[in-house]
């Protein structure tokens, strides 16, 4: 957003705002983080020696709905950014609430799935599938949780008298980048864990 960098003090070389550039480079770093987690999962895919195997306990319909929920949260997020950019604060707040709710629902599905796996005897130490699955989806879940906190603080910030200030569009847009990235990572994880068989 070139606008944010117009005051003389922050004249930038490329005309982009530092905070957005920081988010994009951070997302590049996160690609490597989730890339390593996914590689470990792929290396151990089908190598579990004991205990419940993925084929037996993965519930595709349930996770497909939670994937759909996260996908829709991306749509509400982009509409919230649209609202912030075009000054339609009602739309922005509404969509922020929507994204937060969808995000929490997704987390709810995940907590349920983790507990269900616990009941059928799959936990961290059971086998290779348990270890890699819980670590990968767990870290993704943590990122979704942090995203929900991030969006909630934006929502609360927009409730204040001064709202999110003149850089509102930038704050919401940067939060949107983070949220979309977390959704995109889930798209990859969903395909590799649930859709591709052993």
Annotate each residue in 13-52 with x if it binds other proteins (CB under 8 A) or - if it does not, as one string.
xxxx-x-xxx-xxxxxxxxxxxxxxxxx-xxx-xxxxx--
φ and ψ at 124, to 5 degrees? Answer: -50, -45
Q: How far apart are CA 33 and CA 43, in angstroms?
A: 16
For residue 169 the two structure tokens come to 């569009």
Question: 99, 153, 158, 172: which one contacts other proteins (CB under 8 A)?
Answer: 153
Q: How far apart are CA 160 and CA 197, in angstroms?
A: 50
| Torsion from C-alpha of 180, 181, 187, 193, nearest 10 degrees | -140
Annotate each residue in 46-85 with x if it binds other proteins (CB under 8 A) or - if it does not, as one string.
xxxxx--x-x----x---x--xx--xx-xx-xxx--x--x
Q: Residue 174: how many CA atoms within 13 Å on its side-chain side?
A: 19
Query: Is the CB of 1 or the CB of 104 nearer to other proteins?
Result: 1
Please identify which residue in the block is written with the tokens 């960098």.
Answer: 5
Q: How many residues bind other proteins (CB under 8 A)?
A: 85
Least separation in angstroms between CB 195 and other proteins:
4
Yes or no: say if 183 and 71 are a contact pair by the CB < 8 Å rule. yes
Query: Is the CB of 86 or the CB of 116 nearer to other proteins?
Result: 86
Residues 79-118 that bind other proteins (CB under 8 A): 79, 82, 85-86
Residues 116-135 that bind other proteins (CB under 8 A): 124-125, 127-128, 130-132, 135
Residues 158-197 that bind other proteins (CB under 8 A): 169, 173, 176-177, 180-181, 183-184, 187-188, 190-191, 194-197
Question: 108, 111, 121, 198: which one contacts other proteins (CB under 8 A)?
Answer: 198
The answer for residues whose C-beta is within 8 angstroms of residue 73's C-beta and 6 or more apart is 98, 99, 102, 103, 106, 179, 183
């Amino acid at each position: 957003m070139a606008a944010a960098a117009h005051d003389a003090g922050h004249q930038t070389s490329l005309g982009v705002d530092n905070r957005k550039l920081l988010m994009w480079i951070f997302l590049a770093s996160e690609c490597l983080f989730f890339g390593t987690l996914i590689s470990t999962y792929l290396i151990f895919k089908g190598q579990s020696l004991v205990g419940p195997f993925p084929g037996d306990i993965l519930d595709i319909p349930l996770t497909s709905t939670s994937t759909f929920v996260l996908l829709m949260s991306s749509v509400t997020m982009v509409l919230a950014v649209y609202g912030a950019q075009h000054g339609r604060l009602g739309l922005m707040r509404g969509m922020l609430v929507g994204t937060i709710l969808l995000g929490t629902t997704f987390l709810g599905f995940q907590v349920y799935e983790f507990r269900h796996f616990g009941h059928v005897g799959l936990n961290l130490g059971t086998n290779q599938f348990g270890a890699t699955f819980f670590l990968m989806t767990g870290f993704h879940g943590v990122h979704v949780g942090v995203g929900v906190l991030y969006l909630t603080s934006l929502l609360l910030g927009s409730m204040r008298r001064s709202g999110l200030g003149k850089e509102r569009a930038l704050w919401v847009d940067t939060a949107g980048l983070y949220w979309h990235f977390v959704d995109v990572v889930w798209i990859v994880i969903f395909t590799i864990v649930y859709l591709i068989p052993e």
